[in-house]
Structure 1
Amino acid sequence: MVNKIFFLLALVGVPVSIAGNIMHWSQTLMFGVYCLTIISLASFMGRATESLAIISGPSIGGLLNATFGNAVELIISIFALQAGLTEVVLASLTGSVLGNLLLVGGLSFFVGGLKYKRQTFNVYDARHNSALLIFAVVVAFVIPEVFAMDMDEGRTFTLSIGTSIILIVLYLAALFFKLVTHRGVYQHKGEQVEEHEEPEWSKGRAITVLAVATAAVAYVSEALVHTFETVAESFGWSELFIGVIIVAIVGNAAEHASAIIMAYKNKVSVAVEIAVGSTLQIAMFVAPLLVLVSLFLTEQLPLIFTMPELIAMITAVFLTIFISNDGDTNWFEGLTLLGAYAIMGIGFYLL
């Protein structure tokens, strides 16, 4: 039933989005249409990556989901950079970190915990990811902020470029470590369960759906970016709130849906891989890549966040680490993460 609704939304939303963009219909109205269209397209991406996760295993499946889910975020951010909306871009990166760790992780643990009293996942992966989260957010995001206090704009951007290159190199090294040199070394017993589940789509069809949906999302995302200023004025929203909450939720809808479905099916290892893996990809690949891309645009993007953004991300990282480091979760821990996200959402709305 839900899949049929998303199919109809995509079937109607894509042509309406194209027509509205070409004929310049009301931007406030089209903002809602674009968001619903992206979310419906993201549902297809989620179903495709779920099939690939069954075929490839939790680690690679989670990585694929994070990659294609973050492709939406990357596309929206590049168009926003071209439009000179650097505050929206930085805010959307913050929102992705908070959304993946607190909203996606929280909903996954909560929904899965309602069905199962206790869910376990790979504790070794959790500890490995914890160290990377601290490096990516607490070290690589905070250090430039501290040093930038005594630097001019030129040196601040140079520091951002250096930090970005290091982040990308370490991210690629982490993938090589996890998927090549140490693949299967830290195996979790629960990952051997349900090996006989059949994927909804074949590998070829799933990849085709991902490619087509991503292309459609790219077009709609460009149109969505041009509505931000009008919507902000109409509803009294700040660029910070649009980036942290609205863009982040819409841009990461694929991971949201997939992670929750996986947790409900007691595949919490995949759900954790999606939530945390997507966060790491945002912090260690998407954010630094945007800094490097901005070299070729009129508006440069320094890796400097506001203090509320930094504090919120650091809090989310440590709360997630404390909850997930034992490799065990339940619905109450999920509710705790959701509560933290709600408090931060209220704070960003009122700023």
Structure 2
Amino acid sequence: MTRWLYILLLAVPMAIVAENLHASALTVFVLASLGLIPLAGLIGISTEALAERMGHRIGGLLNATFGNAAEIIIGLVALSAGLPQIVRASLAGSIIGNTLLVLGMSMFFGGWKYREQQFSSRATGQYAAMLVLAVIGMAIPSLLATVGESTRPGDQVVSGNHLHQASIGIAIILLICYVAYIAYSIFGLHAAQDDLLINPTDELREEEEMRQLQDIEATISSQGTAAAAHKASLWTLLGIKWKTTIWFPIAALALATAITAVLSEILVGAIDPLTHQVGLNAFFVGLIILPLVGNAAEHFSAVSSATQNHMEVSMAITAGSSIQIALLVAPLLVLAGPIVGVPLDLNFSLLEVAMFALVAGLYTVISLDGLSTWLEGLLLCAFYLILAVGTFFTPG
């Protein structure tokens, strides 16, 4: 985890103190949002550390399971607070943000540095197909609610109760698809080695370890003092413990998950007062702000990979995260609705459904030629900003 993420950990106690002191909703919301960013990153690196102990396949399964832990926790807390519309907006915002903002930033910074970047159109084509199918599955309940039964004269649109039952059935099917996705991409079920979807976390982890080692060597050589050497050796010792002792990552994962749940409750509790105090509409908060908070650490990994000329890894991160949102996070939240007493269906707004189709199509088109430039990235980011501006001024 990079140093700026460690600095943001200071926002965690500040958010808790601000909540107890009854500070303004804007202050509490901002501090809780900043605190959740490094916690999501800590969950990620803890999972990767555990993956190193348990082998490639179990490690891949852990990464796939805990990769979206922050989004699941935030969604469960929002659902428990009776905000299903916020949950739906955040699910849509995660998928839209990955394909427009994160991929756009990756292409822009990578293309600006290398002018033109290449990636395997075959590998990204596999992700594009999965993304299209996953998005279609999420959009079916919305189509049923708006045009499904109304296409026959005299019939009514699907009722809310039937729509919720349909959403539960579709959620179960999507989870089965996710199991198949894991079986194929991680365990290689009936797949040739060249056909497996790539796992970007291994390469990212090796690069991060190399950067940390270089930082330690630079500290000792540049400063040359006993204090600097002691500091470096301390970090080295902690790094060795982290890599060799399984209890360190387990404790970090448990602690980060528990604190994430606490901060998520503070964050969600500030949404309603914030909408009245600042004038933000809830749809903008769910579609734009919450996905940025929950996915910030993963977004940084995608952009960092692109600046190191690993555009294929960035493409895998953006599409893989969206696929997990559609096939894992959304179904789990739908099935959790009856448990927490707040039903959640997959009846997205017409704008969200249109954006689903658009981002899936954009990713497919971009992956066709196996090339990316900074201009493509700029246009994707501009498109996302247009969407953000439009929803910001939409009445709540």
Superposition TM-score, scaled by structure 1 size: 0.87
Bigger Rg, which one: 2
Consecutive unaligned residues of structure 2, counting only runs of 5 or more, are 147-156, 213-238
Distance 2:23 2:263 in 1: 14
How far 1:330 sits from its partner (Å)? 2.3
1:37-186 matches, within 5 Å, as 37-45=35-43, 67-137=65-135, 139-149=136-146, 150-180=157-187, 181=189, 182=191, 184-186=193-195
How far 1:221 sits from its partner (Å)? 1.1
Counterpart residue number, 2:31:
33
Instruction: Say which of 278, 282, 285 aligns to 2:321.
Output: 278
How far 1:166 sits from its partner (Å)? 0.8
One-letter identity of the residue aligned with 2:278: F
How far 1:57 sits from its partner (Å)? 11
How far 1:41 sits from its partner (Å)? 2.9
How far 1:107 sits from its partner (Å)? 0.9
How far 1:56 sits from its partner (Å)? 10
Distance 1:39 1:310 in 2: 27
One-letter identity of the residue aligned with 2:177: L
For residues 9-52 of structure 1, the C-alpha deviation after alignment (integer angstroms, 9 at most, x for no partner) is: 31x32222222334433322111111111123334456667878
Distance 2:378 2:57 in 1: 25
One-letter identity of the residue aligned with 2:316: E
Distance 2:180 2:196 in 1: 20
1:187-206 matches, within 5 Å, as 199=209, 200=212, 203=243, 204=246
Distance 1:195 1:300 in 2: 39
How far 1:179 sits from its partner (Å)? 1.6
Counterpart residue number, 1:13:
11
One-letter identity of the residue aligned with 1:272: M
Counterpart residue number, 2:289:
246
Root mean square deviation of aligned Cα: 3.2
Distance 2:59 2:108 in 1: 21
- Alpha-carbon contact 1:43-1:257 (below 8 Å) kept: no
How far 1:246 sits from its partner (Å)? 0.8
For residues 112-149 of structure 1, the C-alpha deviation after alignment (integer angstroms, 9 at most, x for no partner) is: 12222332333333111212211121x21332222224
Counterpart residue number, 2:338:
295
SS of equivalent to 1:295? helix
Instruction: Say which of 372, 375, 386 aligns to 1:343.
Output: 386
* Gap change, CA 1:44 and 1:236, over 3 Å in 2: same
Counterpart residue number, 2:360:
317
Aligned residues: 347
How far 1:344 sits from its partner (Å)? 1.2
For residues 47-70 of structure 1, the C-alpha deviation after alignment (integer angstroms, 9 at most, x for no partner) is: 667878999999998986665452
Superposition TM-score, scaled by structure 2 size: 0.78
- Alpha-carbon contact 1:46-1:65 (below 8 Å) kept: yes
SS of equivalent to 1:141? helix
**Worse-matched range after superposition: 240-249 or 208-217:** 208-217
Distance 1:212 1:28 in 2: 26
- Alpha-carbon contact 2:306-2:314 (below 8 Å) kept: yes
How far 1:288 sits from its partner (Å)? 1.1
* Gap change, CA 1:331 and 1:214, over 3 Å in 2: farther
Matched-pair identity in %:
38
How far 1:303 sits from its partner (Å)? 0.8
SS of equivalent to 1:326? coil
Distance 1:188 1:135 in 2: 16
Consecutive unaligned residues of structure 1, counting only runs of 5 or more, are none
Distance 2:117 2:180 in 1: 30
How far 1:104 sits from its partner (Å)? 1.0
One-letter identity of the residue aligned with 1:305: F
How far 1:300 sits from its partner (Å)? 0.4
